[in-house]
Structure 1
Amino acid sequence: MTSQPVLINGQWRASTGTETFQAINPATKETLSEVYPVSPWSEVEEVIDAAVAAFKTVRSYPVGRFADFLEAYAAKIELKIDEIVEAAHLETGYPISPRLKDGEMVRTLDQLRQAADAARNQTWSLPTIDTKTNIRSMLGPIGPVAVFGPNNFPLAFNSISGGDFAAAVAAGNPVIAKGHPSHPRTTQLFAEIAQASCERSGMPAGFIQLIYRTSHEDGAKLVAHPKLGASGYTGSRHAGLVLKEAADRGGNPIYLELSSINPVFILPGALEERFSEIVDEFTGSCLMGTGQFCTNPGLVVVKAGDAAEEFINAVAAKFKATPAGTLLGEGVARSLRAGIVAIQQTGAQVVTGNEPADANRCSYANTLLRATGKSFIENPAGHQEEAFGNASLIVVADSDEEMLAIAEQLEGNLTGCIYSNTEGTDDALYDSIAEELRRHVGRLINDKMPTGVAVSPAMNHGGPYPATGHPGFTAVGIPASIRRFASLECYDNVRLHRLPEVLRDENPHESLHRDIDGIMTTDDVK
């Protein structure tokens, strides 16, 4: 069977690779018909060289050209929504509605357009002017960016349509998209639209390129390549750390989203006040999308007592009553099972689940485990094993002090949540836990589950290791996410007409705030 073409240097062409792969439909375990190539290193080098050539060209482009591309791309995607979401449905098992068409696609289009706005007004570039020394600086594009997309968000985190892609382009960088093998057809459709949008908006050949898959060794060589500016990766901790080691050796920045169990502390007063609501919110959050969210609540801490036992029983009943969803593939099901086994080996007990759910699709029973606070404190690493999917661990602490001790032992996470009584009966306990939890999470949440990640300028979708590779950056939230794919450019005594537009005396955008002599202002330099 003939394999699908790759997009290299503005052309769709047959791959020179001899290895191929096919995606499966996880809802039926059927192999899908399209065959895709595994690109050899010689092809990866071609992609890098084309991206470097494109970068040399676009360095002189006005910022509006990148915004025009992103807006044209979003508009063209809208014309093919049905075809894209159908492909994503077949490759992931996610329902077309509401998950793909009404949720993830809306978010994808929104973040592309937000990135376009930021590219045009340059809010991300942080222009800074010191008139006394005549030194001026700003953030500028870093160079070709390789984006590795995950399996769980085929649209909004896709390597050629997602947040990393939009951020890299908004900064003025060419993108090398390394597709995820779970949804190659979805990625191919996006790439076809992206290339057409490049041509329409006057972007050079090689500005956007797509290879579907490489060997692990060649992926590591890619992120370490001296001609590459940076990489963005979302996926498993093991694979991400291999890439990070390679990128570090090469001196290249790489921004990683790796793993997170997103702890939720439910304080006694909250359970007493709104028991049923919290049961429903936790169950819905944990099982949403079959638990395949990076912000899935994989760890819940409650204080021992009748209310805690009732909570565990109520959640277990809902887990049993809710049909198990479809996982993204057989590998995800195996990984989920391995994570559950690892948690059991710490002494945790299975409350419900922990068995295959349907032999005809990729699925596993909704699984709830429980452990004591004492066992967690004695083996915190084992209890924090990620079981990616429809599973969670409830830890029952004997005292307030034990709840705080659990917080102190947490690894880095994307989110951490505390439910407390609205009348203030939990405030003292809240204060002690929140102060500690703040150190271990990127986003601190009160009184709601963590699964929603708004594309907001204030959002932090990052956190301490192992949630991400660097706690100072976010993968979601424009303009901050754009700054990952930028370098700091400093101009010392450079003549005004030679400076980038945003560093000249006259402000080019009436809404652009610049730091002039320590004051944020939209004024011109006087």
Structure 2
Amino acid sequence: MSVQPVHINGEWRPSTGSKTFTRINPANREVLSGEFPVSPWEEIDEVLEAAHTAFKEVRDFAPERFADFLEAYAAEIETRIDDIVAAANEETALPVSPRLKDGEMVRTIDQLRQAAQAARNRSWTLPTIDTKTNIRSMLGPIGPVAVFGPNNFPLAFNSIAGGDFAAAVASGNPVIAKGHSAHPRTTQLLAESAAHAAETTKMPKGFVQLIYRTSHEDGARLVADKRLGATGYTGARHAGLFLKEAADKGGNPIYLELSSINPVFILPNALSERLDDLVEEFVGSCLMGTGQFCTNPGLVVLRAGDHAEQFISAVAKKFEEAPAGTLLGEGVEQSLRAGIVAIQRTGAHIVTGNKPVDESRCCFANTLLRSTGKQFLNDPNGHQEEAFGNSSLLVVCDSDDEMIAVAEQLEGNLTGCIYSETNGADDALYDQLAGELRRYVGRLLNDKMPTGVAVSPAMNHGGPYPATGHPGFTAVGIPASLRRFAMLECYDNVRPHRLPPELRDENTIDGLSRFVDGEWTDRSLGQ
């Protein structure tokens, strides 16, 4: 098998590493052709130096330069959609349509263009001016950003094309992309488009670079290196926390998306009002994409009663009737089984599933577990083990108070949802639950399953630990996502001609609002 090249300092070249890895097609477990290198520290060191050199150059670039690159990159991807989608399909078994070509690809291109717009209008910089003291501040680029992409979104969260990449570039930073081992060919094709766009828009050679894999130790050295500005990571909790410990020791910020079970509370009167609809919504959300969404509803809380039993029976039947989808790889399959076993140790029992169904591909039966509110409260941590995939846990509580007590024991999550009766019969219970959930979730939903994540300026794809490493930031939503890869720059009595354009007396940037003497305004000073 041929070993694929890495992209370092503007060149595609053979890796200097001696170790390689292969990938499989999850739909048939066949090993795909081609090997990909594991980069040694000497190569990573070179990548860091090239990114560091590139940052020295781009610090003085006009924002339009980054916007031009992002727009050129989006256009490059559009010319290679079929090839990129085909590679992603082969490496992940995610369907070409509607998932990859009609969904993820559209979102990937759109968020690159949204990031370009944010780079131009500068709203993400939050310029602030105090005329009395002549102190002025704004957000500016932090330095080279390393991006670790996940396995479940090979396009929209890809390390060299996804949301973290777009945000890092739009805020003026070079990117070191660390590809995911599950879809390296997809990442390679995207990197080829990025490299061509960088060349045509005359970006420095080290502005976008790609390596595929590192050892754990070298990954830790990378995120802690003083030449690095920040890291964006999406993936498993244990690996993310390992990197966070290293980054913290090195004094570097790292933004993590780790795990989330996304609790859904279905209140009693909502269940009696529209039981069949709730069954359909939950099953559709839980099994969508074989449950491999970070916002998959992995925990549903019900109050005991006839309607709860009917809901459970109907969901179990649909789980049994629905075909088991293909998982992203052998590692995901093993992790799903381990997560289910961990939840069972709490006393939860299997309603349906929990068995292999097709050894020829990476898959596992649609699995539904059940526990009681009392069992949950006896072991809240064990009940919140993430079983990433086509699985969910139902917790049946004896009373409203027990439902509230369950909410009080939740870990941090990306989302939390409450379904309530249309005419207000559940409002008193809703108010109590929402007050608790609001503390533990980044995005609170009503009467809507959490799986959709819109690329909207108002979106929060974040939340308290362990959903992420910091509750104050989002991985989705422009311009807010750009602020993760920025530092606050303050200018005290700096001469006017030395100030960045955003902080000068005259506001020359169309549409830019600035916080001047306690008020937001788009006017120039003195007007």
Post-superposition shift, 1:506?
Answer: 1.1
Query: 1:28 & 1:237 partners in 2: Cα distance?
Result: 28
Query: 1:17 & 1:403 partners in 2: Cα distance?
Result: 54
Post-superposition shift, 1:357?
Answer: 1.5
| SS across alignment from 2:369 | strand
Which residue does 1:334 correspond to in 2?
A: 334
Which residue does 1:4 correspond to in 2?
A: 4
| SS across alignment from 2:252 | coil
**1:118-154 alpha-carbon deviations (Å, 9 max, x no partner):** 0011010000011110000000000000000000000
Structure 1 runs (4+) deviating above 3 angstroms are none
Mean Cα displacement is larger for which, 238-247 or 267-276? Answer: 267-276
| SS across alignment from 1:156 | coil
Post-superposition shift, 1:510?
Answer: 2.3
**1:420-439 alpha-carbon deviations (Å, 9 max, x no partner):** 00100000000000000100
Query: 1:357 & 1:495 partners in 2: Cα distance?
Result: 71
**1:380-436 alpha-carbon deviations (Å, 9 max, x no partner):** 000000000000000000000000000000000000000000100000000000000
| SS across alignment from 1:189 | helix
Post-superposition shift, 1:508?
Answer: 1.9
AA aligned opposite 2:507: N
**1:68-102 alpha-carbon deviations (Å, 9 max, x no partner):** 00000001100100000000000000000000000
Which 5+ residue runs of structure 2 have no aligned equivalent? none
Query: 1:85 & 1:321 partners in 2: Cα distance?
Result: 29
Which residue does 1:304 correspond to in 2?
A: 304
Query: 2:222 & 2:57 partners in 1: Cα distance?
Result: 22
Q: Taking structure 1 as the reference length, what is the TM-score of the superposition?
A: 1.00
AA aligned opposite 1:259: S
Identity of aligned residues (%): 75
Which residue does 1:31 correspond to in 2?
A: 31
| SS across alignment from 2:368 | strand
Post-superposition shift, 1:176?
Answer: 0.1
Which residue does 2:81 correspond to in 1?
A: 81
AA aligned opposite 2:40: P
Which residue does 1:152 correspond to in 2?
A: 152
Which residue does 1:69 correspond to in 2?
A: 69
Which residue does 2:267 correspond to in 1?
A: 267
Query: 1:519 & 1:201 partners in 2: Cα distance?
Result: 37
Post-superposition shift, 1:311?
Answer: 0.2
AA aligned opposite 1:355: K
Query: 2:151 & 2:43 partners in 1: Cα distance?
Result: 23
Which residue does 1:241 correspond to in 2?
A: 241
Query: 1:158 & 1:2 partners in 2: Cα distance?
Result: 23
**1:348-406 alpha-carbon deviations (Å, 9 max, x no partner):** 01000000111000000000000000000110000000000000000000000000000
| SS across alignment from 2:43 | helix
Query: 1:405 & 1:414 partners in 2: Cα distance?
Result: 20
**1:238-261 alpha-carbon deviations (Å, 9 max, x no partner):** 000000000000000000000000
Matches within 5 A, 1:454-493: 454-493=454-493
AA aligned opposite 1:202: K
Which residue does 1:225 correspond to in 2?
A: 225
| SS across alignment from 2:351 | strand
AA aligned opposite 2:247: A
Which residue does 1:46 correspond to in 2?
A: 46
1:170 partnered with 2:170: yes
* Equivalences, count: 526
Aligned residues of 2:121 and 2:510 also touching (Cα < 8 A): no
Query: 2:424 & 2:90 partners in 1: Cα distance?
Result: 48
Post-superposition shift, 1:509?
Answer: 1.6
AA aligned opposite 1:308: A
Which residue does 2:202 correspond to in 1?
A: 202
Post-superposition shift, 1:322?
Answer: 0.2
Query: 2:5 & 2:502 partners in 1: Cα distance?
Result: 41
Post-superposition shift, 1:273?
Answer: 1.0
Which residue does 2:352 correspond to in 1?
A: 352
Post-superposition shift, 1:2?
Answer: 2.6
**1:12-52 alpha-carbon deviations (Å, 9 max, x no partner):** 00000000011110001001101110000000000000000
Q: Taking structure 2 as the reference length, what is the TM-score of the superposition?
A: 0.99
**1:202-228 alpha-carbon deviations (Å, 9 max, x no partner):** 101000000000001100110000110
Which residue does 2:502 correspond to in 1?
A: 502
AA aligned opposite 1:339: G
Which 5+ residue runs of structure 1 have no aligned equivalent? none
Mean Cα displacement is larger for which, 33-42 or 506-515? Answer: 506-515
**1:430-473 alpha-carbon deviations (Å, 9 max, x no partner):** 00000001000000000010000000101000000000000000
Query: 2:111 & 2:31 partners in 1: Cα distance?
Result: 32
Query: 2:24 & 2:221 partners in 1: Cα distance?
Result: 28
Aligned residues of 2:148 and 2:159 also touching (Cα < 8 A): yes
CA RMSD of aligned residues (A): 0.5
Query: 1:382 & 1:147 partners in 2: Cα distance?
Result: 31
Which residue does 2:189 correspond to in 1?
A: 189
Query: 1:411 & 1:60 partners in 2: Cα distance?
Result: 43
